[in-house]
């Protein structure tokens, strides 16, 4: 089966501190992968390397057949195909929710305004906040904002979705509404890489689990096996602390 | 032993009327004294009579200082101007000074001022000689621009006001074209109309331009150009490309470090020496470029402040949607950053307008410059006060209008409710 994301021997340093060590990872289309690990283990950095919000210094990252390198054209093309959802939502506060969603399709994909807004409304309906379309981000609750951010990413019709701790900044009662949207997305066949501590979500949708520590992938296993029969001691310790 | 009981809710019925009566009496005394030169308490020894209003007012304020009186207006009064003895004293003194200063100001500005006539000799009163402004008004507005051609300046400004006025009432889409016209077409059309030299219009050299119209022309052009240059410099200073970054830093620091008067002098005197023989750039244009670049350096730093205030997440979100550098800045970053620094931008632009009089060093005379010229006219010596009060008023009106506009803009663009 062809791979949509390939990381070969990726190394990355922040100054002298090595954040990613010899990362090898392959993701097939429609696969859902949940990445977990203690804070500072490099999991956010790893997925941010996939759309080059962070640059890697060694190794190769190939996304959908295109190698990520210095050339800017490639990077913008890749970023348009890879949706990203952030911990802090990062909606554009000066634009309405509808404009947040239709802006990139209009200016990056060059769609006509009307068509872009139709796509935006469809996606807002999908995350069930189409009734908030004309409000500004500051008027929405955290859960609604994060769902709007997911809709904004979906409007670019990405092949891959990256989630960087999407529920960590939310109040407990709002986590579920965001996770429901993500489960729905997973069932629709989207390729997803999710950094999260929500193990219930992981058990429900993930094909594979990845456990990272100190910049290395410690364990990569099928979800069931990962939770029932973890191999490394480090993973066992981690799971015993969060489950 | 308490001579009088502390003012409280129990004695509010007696203390408040007495207190208000005493305060009113003290203000009335000062008022009558200031406006009619009559002393109500003349029968008292002079020192006591002099300080009596202060004492009466002070006691009055003490009597009405009742906490949580339940009377809304009294509470507001006490909280704001009568919170303790010292503040009551300050309040009284401030009111006295205001009352005392009204009559002489009224006298100078209006009552004793001279409006009729057309020479200095007609000014016989003790107050201001507004005849000076009246006689020179045309020069203060148009400088040395020939009288017969002044309709051209009027027309240019009339067109401007009409377009701006109409643009408030048209649809958003039409408004866009109005703004494009105002920014890209009108300035050059207007300048052509005023300078002439074609279309059968007589050529009027820029040295003859002056007065308030020149203030407007220079301010408008400098604002128009310094703003985009400032934004580019601000982005340049934050660029990851070292060449662009250091050129921007060098430019900003160079222009910010030099006084405007020096820059203007160099643009007029030194700059032509470096030009090849035979090339000639109009003095007004040289001055405009100098002011524009000078203010652009300040503008750049104001805008940079806004850029730095934006969270990193905004850049990352824009990038993650596939936007390149220019789209990211034009659609996401600058709209937010500029909104944040509207007060700073208004500050810089107000300073720009008020800096325009400095062009006198190169012999160009806008409003303040023309007044400076008029007051040295042998027939009108001694009119500096009237002239500069007039200039001050005009500049204040312009700057206050700009300030109000910036506040409205801030309110209109606010999306955090």
Looking at the partner chain, which of B322, B332, B335 has a beta carbon nearest the beta carbon of A76? B322
Residue B70, Ramachandran bin (φ over 0: left; ψ between -120 and 50: alpha; else beta): left
Mean pLDDT across B270-284: 78
- On average, the pLDDT of chain A sits at 91
Looking at the partner chain, which of B316, B323, B415 has a beta carbon nearest the beta carbon of A90? B316
According to the model, what pLDDT value does residue A187 have? 92
Domain residue ranges of chain B, discontinuous segments joined by +? 2-103, 204-355
**pLDDT grade for A121, boundaries at 50, 70 and 90:** very high
Note the pLDDT tens digit of each residue in B98-149: 999 998 888 888 888 888 878 878 878 788 888 888 888 888 888 888 888 8
Chain A with chain B: Cβ pairs closer than 8 A:
72
Looking at the partner chain, which of B314, B323, B416 has a beta carbon nearest the beta carbon of A108? B323
According to the model, what pLDDT value does residue B65 have? 87
Structure tokens at B88: 């009551």
Note the pLDDT tens digit of each residue in B145-204: 888 888 888 888 898 889 888 888 888 888 888 888 888 888 888 888 888 777 777 788
pLDDT at A103 over 50: yes
Q: Which residues from A are below 8 Å from B339, CB to CB? A: 94
Q: Is B365 helix (H, G, I), strand (E, B) or coil?
A: strand
Q: Are the beta carbons of B317 and A91 separated by less than 8 Å?
A: yes
Mean pLDDT across B404-417: 82
Q: What percent of chain A has pLDDT over 70?
A: 99
pLDDT at A1 over 60: no
Look up residue B210 and give its DSSP letter.
E
Cα dist from B408 to A135, B35, B127, whole Å:
21, 40, 38
According to the model, what pLDDT value does residue B1 have? 43
According to the model, what pLDDT value does residue A207 have? 93
Note the pLDDT tens digit of each residue in A187-236: 999 999 999 999 999 999 999 999 999 999 999 999 999 999 989 999 99
Q: B379 — contact with chain A (CB < 8 Å)?
A: no
Most confident range (mean pLDDT) of B30-34, B68-72, B107-111 is B30-34
Looking at the partner chain, which of A79, A86, A93 has a beta carbon nearest the beta carbon of B322? A79
A58-63/A82-85 β-pairing: unpaired
**pLDDT grade for B2, boundaries at 50, 70 and 90:** low
CA distance B353 to chain A (A): 30
**pLDDT grade for B335, boundaries at 50, 70 and 90:** very high
Least reliable range by pLDDT among A101-115, B80-94, B198-212 = B198-212
Q: A160 — contact with chain B (CB < 8 Å)?
A: no
Residue B108, Ramachandran bin (φ over 0: left; ψ between -120 and 50: alpha; else beta): alpha
Mean pLDDT across B64-68: 84
Mean pLDDT across A86-101: 94
CA distance A149 to A141: 12
Among B residues 117-136, those touching chain A with beta carbons less than 8 Å apart: none
pLDDT at A118 over 70: yes
Note the pLDDT tens digit of each residue in A134-150: 999 999 999 999 999 99
Looking at the partner chain, which of B311, B321, B415 has a beta carbon nearest the beta carbon of A156? B321
Q: Are the beta carbons of B323 and A76 separated by less than 8 Å?
A: yes
Q: A158 — contact with chain B (CB < 8 Å)?
A: no
Q: Which residues from A are below 8 Å from B338, CB to CB? A: none
CA distance B75 to B78: 5
Structure tokens at A130: 């189409």
Q: How crowded is residue B315: how many other Cβ atoms within 10 Å of its Cβ? A: 18
Q: Write the DSSP assignment of chain A as a string of letters.
A: ---SEEEEEEEEEETTEEEEEEEEEEE-TT-EEEEE-STTSSHHHHHHHHTTSS--SEEEEEETTEE--S-HHHHHHHHHHEEEE-TT----TTS-HHHHHHHHHHHTS---HHHHHHHHHHHHHHTT-GGGTTS-GGGS-HHHHHHHHHHHHHTT--SEEEEESTTTTS-HHHHHHHHHHHHHHHHTT-EEEEE-S-HHHHHHH-SEEEEEETTEEEEEEEHHHHHHS--SHHHHHHHHHH-
Q: B311 — contact with chain A (CB < 8 Å)?
A: yes
Q: A77 — contact with chain B (CB < 8 Å)?
A: yes
Q: B414 — contact with chain A (CB < 8 Å)?
A: no
According to the model, what pLDDT value does residue B284 have? 87
Note the pLDDT tens digit of each residue in A7-66: 999 999 998 899 999 999 999 999 999 999 998 899 999 999 998 999 899 899 999 888
Look up residue B129 and give its DSSP letter.
B
CA distance A197 to chain B (A): 21
Give buried/exposed letters for A16-47 (b at 16+ CB in 10 A, else e): eebbbbebebebeeebbbbbbbeeebbbbbbb
According to the model, what pLDDT value does residue B341 have? 93
Q: Which CATH code for domain B204-355?
A: 1.10.3720.10
Q: How crowded is residue B16: how many other Cβ atoms within 10 Å of its Cβ? A: 18
CA distance B329 to chain A (A): 12
- On average, the pLDDT of chain B sits at 87
CA distance B322 to chain A (A): 4
According to the model, what pLDDT value does residue B261 have? 92
pLDDT at B277 over 80: no
- pTM, two decimals, is 0.84
Q: A107 — contact with chain B (CB < 8 Å)?
A: yes
Q: What percent of chain B has pLDDT over 90?
A: 39
CA distance A108 to chain B (A): 6
Q: Are the beta carbons of B415 and A93 separated by less than 8 Å?
A: yes
According to the model, what pLDDT value does residue B417 have? 46
Note the pLDDT tens digit of each residue in B369-383: 889 888 888 888 888
Q: A92 — contact with chain B (CB < 8 Å)?
A: yes
Q: Is B216 helix (H, G, I), strand (E, B) or coil?
A: helix
According to the model, what pLDDT value does residue B50 have? 85
**pLDDT grade for B246, boundaries at 50, 70 and 90:** very high
- Can you say how many angstroms the Cα of residue A36 is from the centroid of all Cα atoms in its chain? 13
**pLDDT grade for B323, boundaries at 50, 70 and 90:** very high
Q: Are the beta carbons of B415 and A92 separated by less than 8 Å?
A: no
Write the ipTM.
0.93
CA distance B330 to chain A (A): 11
């Amino acid at each position: 089966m062809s791979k949509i994301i390939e990381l070969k021997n990726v190394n990355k340093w922040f100054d002298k501190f090595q954040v990613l060590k010899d990362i090898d990872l392959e993701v097939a289309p429609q696969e859902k992968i949940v990445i977990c690990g203690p804070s500072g283990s490099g999991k956010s950095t790893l997925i941010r390397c996939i759309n080059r919000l962070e640059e890697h210094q060694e190794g190769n990252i190939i996304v959908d057949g295109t190698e990520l390198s210095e050339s800017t054209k490639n990077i913008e093309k890749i970023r348009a195909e890879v949706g990203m959802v952030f911990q802090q939502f990062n909606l554009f506060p000066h634009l309405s929710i509808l404009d947040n969603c239709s802006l990139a399709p209009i200016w990056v994909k060059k769609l006509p305004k009307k068509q872009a807004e139709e796509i935006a409304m469809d996606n807002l309906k999908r995350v069930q906040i189409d009734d908030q379309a004309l409000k500004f981000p500051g008027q929405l609750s955290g859960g609604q904002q994060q769902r709007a951010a997911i809709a904004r990413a979906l409007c670019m019709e990405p092949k891959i979705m990256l989630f960087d701790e999407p529920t960590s900044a939310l109040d407990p009662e709002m986590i579920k509404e965001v996770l429901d949207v993500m489960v729905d997305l997973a069932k629709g066949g989207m390729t997803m890489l999710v950094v999260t501590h929500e193990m219930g979500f992981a058990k429900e949708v993930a094909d594979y689990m990845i456990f990272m520590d100190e910049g290395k992938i410690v364990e990569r296993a099928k979800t069931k096996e990962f939770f029932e029969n973890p191999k490394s001691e480090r993973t066992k310790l981690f799971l015993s602390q969060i489950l | 032993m308490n001579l009088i009981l502390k003012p409280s809710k129990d004695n509010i019925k007696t203390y408040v009327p007495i207190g208000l009566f005493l305060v009113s009496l003290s203000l009335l005394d000062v008022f009558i004294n200031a406006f009619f030169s009559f002393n109500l308490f003349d029968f008292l020894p002079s020192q006591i009579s002099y300080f009596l209003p202060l004492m009466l007012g002070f006691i009055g304020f003490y009597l009405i200082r009742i906490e949580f009186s339940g009377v809304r207006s009294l509470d507001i009064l006490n909280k704001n101007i009568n919170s303790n003895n010292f503040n009551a004293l300050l309040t009284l003194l401030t009111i006295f000074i205001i009352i005392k200063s009204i009559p002489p100001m009224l006298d100078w500005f209006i009552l004793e001022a001279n409006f009729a006539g057309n020479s200095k000799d007609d000014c016989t009163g003790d107050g201001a000689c507004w005849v000076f402004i009246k006689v020179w008004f045309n020069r203060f507005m148009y400088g040395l621009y020939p009288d017969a051609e002044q309709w051209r300046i009027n027309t240019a400004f009339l067109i401007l006001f009409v377009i701006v006025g109409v643009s408030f009432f048209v649809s958003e889409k039409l408004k866009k074209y109005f703004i494009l016209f105002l920014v890209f077409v009108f300035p050059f059309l207007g300048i052509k109309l005023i300078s002439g030299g074609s279309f059968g219009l007589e050529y009027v050299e820029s040295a003859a331009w002056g007065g308030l119209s020149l203030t407007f022309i220079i301010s408008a052009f400098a604002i128009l150009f310094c703003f985009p240059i400032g934004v580019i410099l601000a982005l340049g200073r934050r660029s990851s490309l070292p060449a662009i970054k250091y050129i921007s830093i060098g430019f900003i620091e160079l222009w910010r470090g030099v006084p405007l008067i020096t820059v203007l002098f160099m643009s007029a005197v030194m700059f032509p020496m470096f030009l090849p023989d035979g090339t000639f750039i109009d003095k007004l244009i040289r001055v405009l470029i100098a002011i524009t670049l000078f203010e652009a350096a300040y503008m750049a730093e104001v805008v940079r402040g806004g850029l730095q205030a934006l969270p990193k997440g905004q850049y990352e979100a824009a990038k993650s949607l596939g936007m390149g550098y220019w789209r990211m800045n034009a659609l996401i970053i600058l709209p937010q950053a500029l909104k944040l620094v509207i007060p700073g931008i208004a500050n810089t632009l107000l300073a720009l307008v008020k800096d325009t009089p400095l062009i006198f060093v190169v012999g160009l005379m806008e409003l303040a410059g023309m007044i400076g010229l008029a007051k040295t006219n042998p027939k009108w010596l001694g009119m500096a006060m009237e002239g500069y009060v007039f200039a001050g008023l005009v500049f204040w009106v312009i700057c206050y209008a700009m300030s109000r506009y910036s506040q409205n803009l801030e309110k209109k663009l606010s999306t955090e409710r």
